[in-house]
Amino acid sequence: MTTKPTYQLNFRAALMSGVGALAVIGLAAPGAFAQTAAPAAASSSATAAETSQSVMPEVIVTGAKSVAGGLMKVQTASEAMSSVTASAIQEKIAAASPLQLISTLPGVNFGSTDGFGLSIRNLLNVRGLDETEIGFMFEGIPGDDYFNYFPYTESWADNENISDITLTPGNSRLQDPILTASGGELIESVRNPRNSFGGMASESVGSYDGWRTFEDIDTGPIGQTGAKAFLSYSHTSANNYVGAGTNTRDHIDTKVVEDWSSTIHSSLFLSYNGWTNDRLPFLTLAQADKGLATNNFAQFAYVGNFTPGTATPNYYKALEVKKTNVYLSSTTDFELSNTVTLHITPYYIYKLADYPGESLLSPSSIYSGNQLVTAAFDPSFLQGGKLVAQNNAWNQQYQLGINSMLEADLTPSNHLVVGYWHENFRIGNDSYYNLIASNGDIDGTSLSTALKTTSGAIIAGTHYTADSTTNEFYIGDTQSLLDDKLKVSVGFKELIWSVQAVNEVIGATPLVQANWNEALPRILVSYDLNPKSQLYANITTNARMPLIASTYFTDYSTTTGAVSQAANASQKPEYNISAQVGYRYHGPLIIDVNAFYMHLLNHQLSSLQNINNTLVPLAFTVGNETIRGASIEASTRSYAGFSLYGSGQYLDGTFDDNTPVSGTYLPTKGKQMVESPTWVASFGARYDHGPIFAELTEKYVGSQYTSFMNDQGMPAYETTDLSFGYRLPDYKAFSKPVARVSMTNLGNKSYISADATIVTNAVATKALNGTTIAAGTPNYYVGAPLTVMFTLSSNF
């Protein structure tokens, strides 16, 4: 059991520790440099938080006007880029995750089992590439979980503190410290403290006993220190919509900013998240079809009452995920002259998580590694001659890094960036059994109560530590020509990555090492045809390092001693060459249309596999892939309070190679890539006039394959969301009170929202050498039913 850490902040000491972090931690790790954005001219619906901060595309800071109630921004970068602003976020379900919030952006394919952003049963794809191939940035911090490259954005900042979420599909910013951006980048920014003392509070109630409370307090200027800060806390809970289990989230955000002088500016950000998730089960296509036909998914849900001697697995308490995350970053901007600025961002991340499973063990056939062992246990735990156990899979992570960038205006028309990123990362994984008594009580979740051999050794099929080191050097230059109409940016970064994996399981190779260097050049061009029209084009390269957990360790079955997963130190990183050409129009209509092409080398598809009844990452190596497509995003401006928004994408992704399987190859060349619907589209209508606001959103996701051989897939689906609210008049100490109702899946449709696992083939198939490859079984997530949340909020 873990306890929440407590923190005491001395503003100046804490900020100075961030400024001096280069010396203190010795260039220990990365952090994204400060987003020093010029204030944007905003529409009347934009908030102060939106206009004070924008995203730095490449090496140029640009402002952006928001339209359609914050669902679209006027972008000027030399690349496809879409944003959701604070005003749009504040009208969604209060507990929605960032991935839910971006689901209407062009090309976004997102499905979840939960409307409240509390479940890890979800999947994001952008342009046919899943979330493990997308880079994530969160207030200068790499957002990916290095255990499986999932972002777990639900553990980031509370929605009330988000100032902007921006997606750059197919590309990433030059300066950001990320290892996984072959498919693009998602950037989340946190608001700055307000300029006056005060706070905000909200209470929300919703479906499935959903409840959320949020409070924040802003200090305003703190005496003569030049500092101001905010602190917020939220608690969210909701039951699963089917079966047993309750999901909870406790969250703290705090941010301090200080102007040391007119030329030195600092910020310190700290976020804590404690999360308990009672997961819903995966379903096969046959199970999903049966549930859809009978409108009865309870028959597949995990149960609340334990049955002695059985392990399906189906006992929800044995499958409960617990996660604790702490994020810390500090950014300081030194204006060394009128033309030179230095940005320094050190950061630290701590993560502790347990992803357990449920197992049925025979005392006469228990292995630790590849060795048959004799287990020592209290005979009272025997149930029909078997042992029922929770297989706890604890992983603990530490990241320490720093990102330093120097910007210089060499001439009035030339902007240079030079930077360096360093990171140290460590992960430790302990997988062990804790017995379950016949009444359903679990004998702890710690090593002290774990199942051991008669000699006192822990019984485990997985037990490892790994350390990785990242060094990256980057340089970029932007030249403006033709009276600033033409901008040409060239950039280059050299990524140097190494990993050392120590495996302590009996029989495994004790040490596996790998070292990789990747050269990542890019060129971006934009041309303003007139004040309302822009052309842009780019050719960029990005990479994704191999996933540590599924690449560098050999794991064993604890029931047979056989290898469940073999280490592969020669696995090359994924490399992406991407090209885009686009056109923007900023007139009565706002339009951004682009065509894109991507070629991936050493493409690695991610899924999940069952090792000792615990789900762990799985990576398929499928050779190369070619992706072609086009997307559009459009919005009207507001007329008499009404505005419209729409986005769409056409996608064609194909395997370039046959897929290696069991020493031979499956004939996948030319097949459609999995998780790549041909069509994705969304449409929104919004009304905002006086005290009343409302928004209706329709989302369509086309059918998509879930097997490489294209012999199984999930059907297309549509969902409709609705939000509406009323801005109440001020009353005494309550300022700007708002009441709103948000609903997802308005039609209460039952549908498959995403795949949970993919396979090479869902039907037995002959390989190229004539052998038959047995059929695998894809698994799926069922989408959340109608979810409603009512929120009442007010400033004070």
Q: What is the CATH number of domain 11-795?
A: 2.40.170.20
CA 83 to chain centre: 16
Q: How far is CA 489 from the centre of its chain?
A: 28
Under a CB-based contact definition with an 8 Å cutoff, are residues 254 and 270 in contact?
yes
pLDDT of residue 69: 59
pLDDT (0 to 100) of residue 729: 95
Instruction: State the pLDDT at residue 67.
Output: 67
3-state DSSP assignment of residue 670: coil
Distance CA 541, CA 181 (A): 9
Contact, 45 vs 690, CB < 8 A? Answer: no
For the chain, the domains span 11-795
H/E stretch holding 468 reads: strand 463-481
User: Comparing C-alpha atoms, which of 680, 494, 579 is closest to residue 171?
Assistant: 579
pLDDT attached to residue 125: 95
Please name the residues in contact with 590: beta carbons below 8 A apart, sequence gap of 6 or more: 67, 68, 72, 74, 634, 635, 636, 637
Cis peptide before 573 (omega within 30 of 0): no
Alpha carbons 693 and 691: distance in angstroms, whole number: 7
Scored b (16 or more CB within 10 A) or e, 748-785 reads eebbbbbbbbbbbbbeebebeeeeebebbebbbbbbbb
C-alpha–C-alpha distance, residues 795 and 773, integer Å: 62
Decide if 85 contacts 551 (C-beta within 8 A): no
Q: Per-residue DSSP letters for 14-38?
A: HHHHHHTHHHHHTS----PPP--PP
Measured distance CA(584)–CA(587) in Å, rounded: 10
Give 572's DSSP letter. P
pLDDT of residue 65: 56
b/e code 182-216 from CB counts within 10 Å (16+ = b): bbbbbbbbbbbbbeeebbbbbebebbbebbbebbb
Separation in Å, CA 477 to CA 184, 220, 416, 420: 21, 38, 4, 15
What ranges make up the beta strands (E) of 482-565?
486-503, 511-530, 533-544, 555-556, 563-565
Positions of the chain with pLDDT lower than 50, given as ranges: 1-63
In terms of DSSP bridges, do strands 227-239 and 210-218 run parallel, antiparallel, or are they unpaired?
Answer: antiparallel
Q: Coil, strand or helix: which one is 322?
A: strand
The CA-to-CA distance between both ends of the chain, in Å, stands at: 37
What CA–CA distance (Å, rounded) separates 165 from 87? 11
